[in-house]
Amino acid sequence: MHIDPHGTPSDTGRAFRLIVTGGGTGGHTYPALTTVRTLRDRLGAEGRTLDVLWIGTSDGLEARIAPEANIPFVTVATGKIRRSANPLRMASPANVRDMARVPLGVMQARRAIAGFGPDVVLATGGYVAVPAGLAARMCHRPLVLHEQTVRLGLANRRLAGSATRIAVSSDSTLPLLPAGVRSAAVVTGNPVRPELLTGQADKAVGTLGLHGFARHLPTLYVTGGAQGAAQINEVVTGALPWLMEHANVVHQCGPNHVEGLRQRATVLPRQLAERYHLTGFVGPELPDVLALADIVVSRSGAGTLAELTALGKPAVFIPLATSAGNEQAHNAEHLARSGAATALLGEVTVDTLREALDPLLTDPTRRSAMAERARAQGRPDAADKLVEVLLSAASG
């Protein structure tokens, strides 16, 4: 597409050109992918096409996801900052060595951006977003940041002053932004994969063989992410005899934990064991499992919050204590303050889990109230709103 000297597309009948940068984890990668697909659909409905280039790292999740989605992919050098509460430790040899790689990454990203000629650059966070975002400014290309968490991540904080627009996931983020960039902010929400919103509970029963489930009881979905979470597995297993008196349970524990947990579950009486489904991994059936679930116990990553609020699911969050900037605790507390979830902070025991779950499992009215508050926090149209921001930034 030809770009005029003012940086706006001069021929709307030609391909719209987008550079995406960000990744490392699913929290940065999947919102970007969902946005690309939504933008492609939007342009297609207008008889237009989309050309995309993804700038990432060779060892991040994006290196697999982008090619699988047939998105051209290039890598640039980047550096990881190892955080520490002690400022002196921030100047560690590893940090200094990695930061020295950033100028090389900026040069590589500048070459890619100048050659591709994007209408707009979308940065979704992660270390790779820094060199690509700085290069976008050097090339005078509009830069849109997307922040998934309540507080700006390290990469987006570094890039905020260079951004044309800053798309955030929550109204609570706005007062936390530096005053000088607040006028560039817009609340879009965090894009959610559309297939997660179309699950069918009965399909989960058939696919997973949950025919022993008592449908008059609530169903609890427990997940620690793809690899599981030892902390969640431990407290849930400890509470299992009590849990099974009050609920059906789908427990996604991580592939490496299945055998040990299956052995521990043998203490359950047969009639209760029929209502406990243990699995290492939940894949394509996840939308149906979420549709079946009345309550969820999980970590509180930004993507999880976006999905559960879009679906209106009551949740008990057990934040990952080692998440960058303690972001999972901030995420969980944000929803807990509005009554949209329960957050278990600090030491989590069988007793604290039971105390959190008991009112939700035994009181349908309380469960419904939390579901409504969660749904009020949800933004299922986040991808569409972010696409509007990209198109607006590209047109000046």
pLDDT in tens, 342-389: 999 989 999 999 999 999 999 999 999 999 999 999 999 999 999 999
Given a cut of 50, is residue 130 above it in pLDDT? yes
d(CA 152, CA 168): 9
Domains of the chain: 16-192+381-395 (3.40.50.2000), 194-377 (3.40.50.2000)
pTM for this model (two decimals): 0.87
Residue 315 main-chain phi, psi, to 5 deg: -145, 150
361: tokens are 């499992």
CA–CA distance, 141 with 381 (Å, rounded to integer)? 26
Distances (CA, A) of 182 to 64, 146, 187, 293, 376: 34, 14, 11, 38, 24
- Whether 391 shows a pLDDT value over 70: the answer reads yes
Please choose, from the candidates 396, 392, 390, the residue with its C-alpha nearest in 3D space to the C-alpha of residue 18: 390
Cα separations in angstroms, 103 against 120, 143, 148, 347: 22, 19, 26, 42
- Reported confidence tier of residue 10, pLDDT bands at 50, 70, 90: very low
Once rounded to an integer, what is the mean pLDDT over residues 230-257? 96
Report the DSSP beta bridge partners of residue 19: 53, 121
Residues 209-221 pLDDT 10s = 999 999 999 999 9
Looking at residue 9, what is its pLDDT?
46
Separation CA 284–CA 262 (nearest Å): 23
Please tell me the predicted confidence (pLDDT) of residue 93: 63
